């Protein structure tokens, strides 16, 4: 089988998606609690209910893909409407209540956990359908030998999370916990017939202790690890070395040689020589001295969109 993996990340959580094309040609997607869901059913659940539109979105002008998508549409031909597709997903995740409840829960799962980086509103479903169709098209291109496999160690496919990103994610999660804790304490005391003063329902150390814990252990939100240590200002070289340290997400127990080895795209970005010995070799690296990390786009979004429209691209829904 051919496999495509998408790791979609929103400020709240990170959801891995697996799209696979089996030997019999059926294409499935798995994400969150939804396992091995036919892609054509998901497209209908996202509002693309006409077979013609599904064909056009996935295949484009590539006629050699028509047979694969025809076969997938035939396999799921009993699902005709968006309601049918949502009810099917509701059954798939084990909801045993009435039809309306299945549709409601399936809608919530699609909006919250399907490609959360795109959005979590109902209006974002069409964008998710386009994203899914492009992912399936790329998988079919791989199956037909039109493109090669992606190199996941290529630095174009990687992003560095800086301390500000990690602190932002941590604060968002901890603050949500903080608010939930205040609400729980307030409701608990109100049920007893008391009107509690503010200092009794607010645990002031909750925010501080969680942030200190993350900085002390280097364990951040989403199972991410970051470099946390006392900054050594003995001389300028040690200071620069510590500030430019990079840690991989891989655990030290994995033997992944390709991830630990020097990649050609490290040139000018990652120092090829400076890495510790032992189990951390290749997992703890240092930025090259002249490397800079872009934190803001160099062009405004609207300006970029206008330039893309000039070369022939059109906005979705236009």
Mean pLDDT value of segment 96-125 = 92
**Mean pLDDT across 301-313:** 88
Between helices 205-217 and 163-191, what is the axis angle to 10°? Answer: 150
Taking residues 204-218, report their average pLDDT: 87
Find the radius of gyration of the CA atoms of the chain: 24
Q: Is 98 helix (H, G, I), strand (E, B) or coil?
A: coil
Structure confidence by residue, pLDDT tens digits, 134-186: 999 999 999 999 999 999 889 888 888 888 888 888 898 899 899 999 999 88
What pLDDT, on the 0 to 100 scale, is given for residue 241?
85
**Residue 245 pairs with which residues in a beta bridge?**
286
The DSSP result for 137-183, as a single string, is HHHHHHHTTSS----TTSGGG--PPPHHHHHHHHHHHHHHHHHHHHH
Highest mean pLDDT among 39-43, 208-212, 274-278: 39-43
Q: Which residue has the higher pLDDT, 283 or 227?
A: 283
Q: Transcribe 77-123 into DSSP letters.
A: TT--SHHHHHHHHHHHTT--S-HHHHHHHHHHHHHHHSSTTT-SSGG
Maximum distance among all alpha carbons in the chain?
A: 71
**What average pLDDT does the segment 102-129 reach?**
93
Q: Evaluate if residue 222 carries a pLDDT over 80.
A: no
The confidence score (pLDDT) of residue 228 equals 80
At 232-252, the pLDDT tens digits run 888 988 888 888 888 888 878
User: What pLDDT score was predicted for residue 97?
Assistant: 87
- Does position 231 have pLDDT exceeding 60, yes or no? yes
- What's this model's pTM, rounded to 2 decimal places? 0.81
Length of the chain (residues): 318
State the Cα–Cα distance between residues 68 and 26, nearest whole angstrom.
8
pLDDT at 162: 86
Q: Which residue has the tokens 């090829």?
A: 272
- Smallest CA-to-CA distance from 227 within 168, 162, 177, 291 is with 162
Closest CA to 131 of 76, 92, 139, 36: 139
Residue 206 has pLDDT above 60, yes or no: yes
Beta bridge partners of 220: 224
d(CA 269, CA 287): 6
- Average pLDDT of the residues in 48-59: 92
Percent over 70 (pLDDT), the chain: 99
* Structural domains in the chain, sorted by start: 2-150 (3.90.1110.10), 152-228 (no CATH), 232-318 (no CATH)
Judge contact between 78 and 89, C-beta under 8 A.
Answer: no
Q: What is the pLDDT of residue 49?
A: 92
For the chain, give the percent of residues with pLDDT over 90. Answer: 40
Q: Residue 317's pLDDT is what?
A: 62
Cα separation, 155 vs 294, in Å, equals 14
Q: Which of 111, 133, 93, 100 is nearest to 4 (CA)?
A: 133
Taking residue 204's Cβ as centre, other Cβ atoms within 10 Å add up to 9
What order of strands is seen across the sheet that includes strand 34-38? 2-9, 14-21, 27-31, 34-38
Range among 62-66, 135-139, 297-301 rated most confident: 135-139
How sure is the predictor about 227, in pLDDT bands with cuts at 50, 70 and 90? confident
State mean pLDDT over 113-118. 93
H/E stretch holding 68 reads: helix 66-75
What is the model's pLDDT at position 112? 92
In the predicted model, what is the mean pLDDT of the chain? Answer: 88
pLDDT band at 318 (very low <50, low <70, confident <90, very high): low
Give the pLDDT mean for 8-18: 85
Can you tell me the distance from the alpha carbon of 21 to that of 142, in angstroms, rounded to the nearest whole number?
10
Helices 125-143 & 99-113, crossing angle to 10 degrees? 70
With 80 as the cut, is the pLDDT of residue 224 above it?
A: no
Query: CA-CA distance, 276 to 149, in Å (whole number)?
Result: 30
């Amino acid at each position: 089988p051919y496999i495509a993996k998408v790791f979609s990340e929103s400020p709240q959580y990170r959801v891995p998606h697996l799209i696979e094309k089996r030997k019999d040609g059926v294409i499935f997607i798995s994400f969150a609690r939804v396992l091995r869901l036919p892609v054509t059913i998901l497209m209908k659940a996202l509002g693309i209910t006409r077979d013609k539109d599904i064909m056009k979105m996935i295949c484009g002008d590539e006629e050699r893909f028509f047979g694969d998508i025809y076969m997938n549409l035939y396999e799921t031909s009993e699902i005709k409407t968006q309601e049918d597709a949502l009810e099917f997903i509701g059954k798939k995740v084990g909801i045993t209540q009435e039809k309306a409840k299945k549709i409601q829960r399936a809608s919530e799962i699609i909006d919250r956990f399907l490609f959360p980086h795109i959005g979590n509103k109902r209006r974002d479903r069409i964008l998710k359908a386009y994203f899914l169709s492009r992912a399936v098209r790329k998988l079919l291109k791989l199956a037909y030998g039109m493109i090669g496999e992606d190199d996941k160690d290529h630095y174009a496919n990687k992003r560095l999370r800086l301390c500000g990103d990690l602190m932002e994610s941590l604060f968002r999660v901890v603050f949500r916990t903080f608010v939930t804790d205040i609400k729980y304490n307030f409701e608990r005391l109100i049920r007893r017939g008391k009107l509690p003063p503010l200092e009794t329902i607010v645990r002031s150390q909750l925010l501080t202790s969680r942030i200190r814990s993350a900085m002390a252990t280097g364990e951040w939100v989403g199972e991410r690890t970051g470099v946390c240590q006392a900054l050594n200002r003995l001389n300028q070289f040690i200071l620069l070395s510590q500030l430019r340290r990079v840690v991989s997400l891989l655990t030290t127990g994995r033997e992944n040689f390709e991830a630990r080895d020097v990649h050609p795209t490290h040139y000018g970005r990652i120092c090829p020589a400076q890495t510790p010995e032992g189990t951390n070799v290749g997992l703890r690296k240092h930025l090259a001295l002249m490397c800079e990390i872009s934190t803001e786009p160099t062009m405004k979004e609207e300006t970029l969109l206008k330039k893309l429209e000039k070369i022939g691209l059109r906005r979705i829904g236009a």
